[in-house]
């Protein structure tokens, strides 16, 4: 029996700007998104019926899970895809603003595409993924991209210089619809500078990338969950000037150019926040190695 093992990388937002509320109820956004090496592991194998196994009690093991919705979507379009068991080893915190569900969904679709030789290109996969969620198209590609529209329109950007991150996810979650619903875009006069970040990427200027970081959703999330603001202030006080909330929160991350500084900061922060996570940027080579195929006897199959 053939099997696919997929590494599903988390994302952070280096810049997240909200431009306006659209007529369809969504918000028009402009975001610089970056894949990081915090990752879930997905195993796909044929089964008598579709089902999910997971090691995380906070992940519903049912067909409402995005990973399983990805299976049924692919089966809907491609009848050669049989029932599948999805085994999901979670390392990305749940409801964290790190696209954990979206990247699992993308990983399942990438794995099925290769396992059953569907021949779908990246644009095809992005289009299908957008049917299930706005972050999924980015999670198909990356590692660094500009996301516009409601987040589903993806334009690759120059690779981000190596950066290092310390992430802290509070014990509570934040409702993304509530964060957007509470946002009063018209009242906000200062917006993060997406173009400045893009110029930093083009010039391979890590310092400029860090100085350009910003997230307009912080205004709304901090109102709804003041403890996220307290967390950000606490992480700045630990000695990092480049601290930002990812997505709609509640995860907050500190960013560094130098790995040694990041590791030292991680040791300091871990004393106060034992669940802190150390991560770094993902490059294109790692993305291209996400899917590994195995044959009947467990021997890896070349995907070249």
**CA dihedral of 114, 157, 253, 213, whole degrees rounded to 10:** -160
Tokens of 206: 């890590």
- Note the helical H segments in 142-257: 176-182, 194-202, 206-211, 218-224, 226-237
Active-site positions read 11, 135
The sign of the torsion formed by the CA atoms of 250, 276, 200, 288 equals negative
CB of 81 within 8 A of CB of 73?
no
Distance CA 266, CA 240 (A): 11
Return the closest-CA partner of residue 34 out of 6, 8, 14, 50: 14
CB of 34 within 8 A of CB of 2?
no
| Residue listed under structure tokens 């790692």 | 286
| Residue listed under structure tokens 């080893």 | 89
Distance CA 265, CA 212 (A): 21
CB of 258 within 8 A of CB of 166?
no
The sign of the torsion formed by the CA atoms of 241, 177, 93, 173 equals positive
Give the number of other CB atoms < 10 A from CB of residue 236.
14
Question: Residue 66 CA to chain centroid, in angstroms?
Answer: 13
Buried b (16+ CB within 10 A) or exposed e, 198-224: bebbeeeebebbbebbbbbbbbbbbeb
């Amino acid at each position: 029996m053939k099997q696919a093992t997929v590494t599903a990388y988390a994302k952070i937002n280096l810049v997240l700007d909200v431009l306006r509320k659209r007529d369809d109820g969504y918000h028009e956004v402009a975001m610089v998104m970056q894949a990081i090496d915090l990752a879930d592991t997905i195993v796909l194998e044929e089964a008598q019926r579709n089902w999910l196994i997971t090691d995380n009690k906070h992940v519903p093991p049912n067909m409402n899970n995005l990973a399983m919705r990805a299976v049924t979507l692919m089966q809907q379009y491609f009848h050669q895809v049989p029932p599948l068991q999805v085994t999901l080893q979670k390392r990305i915190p749940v409801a964290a603003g790190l696209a954990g569900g979206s990247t699992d969904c993308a990983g399942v679709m990438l794995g099925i595409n290769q396992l059953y030789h569907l021949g779908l290109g990246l644009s095809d996969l992005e289009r299908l993924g957008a049917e299930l969620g706005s972050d999924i198209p980015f999670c198909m590609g990356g590692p660094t991209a500009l996301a516009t529209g409601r987040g589903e329109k993806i334009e690759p950007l120059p690779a981000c210089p190596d950066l290092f991150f310390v992430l802290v996810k509070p014990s509570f979650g934040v409702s993304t619809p509530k964060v957007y619903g509470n946002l009063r875009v018209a009242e906000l006069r200062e917006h993060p500078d997406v173009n400045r970040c893009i110029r930093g990427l083009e010039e391979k200027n890590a310092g400029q990338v860090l100085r350009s970081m910003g997230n307009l959703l912080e205004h709304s999330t901090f109102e709804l969950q003041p403890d996220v603001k307290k967390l950000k202030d606490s992480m700045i006080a630990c000695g990092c000037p480049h601290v930002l909330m990812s997505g709609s929160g509640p995860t907050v991350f500190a960013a560094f150019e130098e790995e040694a500084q990041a590791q030292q900061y991680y040791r300091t922060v871990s004393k106060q926040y034992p669940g802190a996570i150390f991560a770094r940027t993902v490059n294109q080579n790692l993305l291209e190695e996400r899917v590994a195929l195995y044959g009947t006897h467990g021997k890896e199959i070349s995907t070249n």
